[in-house]
Amino acid sequence: MTGSIAAVGAGLAAIGAGIGIGQIGGHAMDAIARQPEHTAKIQTVMLIAAALVEGVALFAVVVSIMSK
């Protein structure tokens, strides 16, 4: 099986993004459980934060695609 070190990089980026998005989702769930009346607002903020974390992970994916 052949591959490149870029694949390892993509995997590491996935770990980072997984931790980040997991934290965001978990805490958003906590917040919604505490204050269900603010669900819509919390979800919006959650999606923005998740998009920012995901953006960093996607930079890593693009770099690993290009470096092959």
Partner 1 sequence: MISKINTSGLLKVVLAVFLVLFSSSSSYSNKPNQHSSVSENHSVSDSLNKNASKSETVDITKVAFEHILDSHSWHFWGEGHDALVFSLPIIIYSNTKGLQTFMSSKFDHGHASYNGYNLEEEVIKSEDLNETIYDFSITKNVTQMFISMALLLWLFISIANAYKKTGITSAPNGKQSFFEPLIIFVRDDIAKENIGGNKYERFVPYLLTVFFLILINNVLGLIPISANLTGNIAFTLVLAVVTLLVTNFNASKTYWKHIFAPKPAALWLILMPIELVGVFSKPFALMIRLFANIAGGHIVVISLVGLIFIFKSIYIAPVSVAFTLFIDILECLVALLQAYIFTMLTALFIGSAMEDHGHSNEEAASNHH
Q: Which residues bind partner 1 (CB under 8 A)?
A: 41, 44, 47-48, 51-52, 54-55, 58-59, 61-62, 68
Q: How far is the CB of 15 from partner 1 (least distance, A)?
A: 16
Name which of 4 and 23 has its Cβ closer to partner 1: 4
Question: In sequence order, what are the residues at sequence separation of 6 or more whose Cβ sits closer than 8 angstroms to the Cβ of residue 12?
Answer: 60
Name which of 3 and 34 has its Cβ closer to partner 1: 3
Q: How far is the CB of 58 from partner 1 (least distance, A)?
A: 4
Exposure string for 23-41, b = 16+ CB within 10 A, e = fewer: ebeeebeebbeeeeeeeee
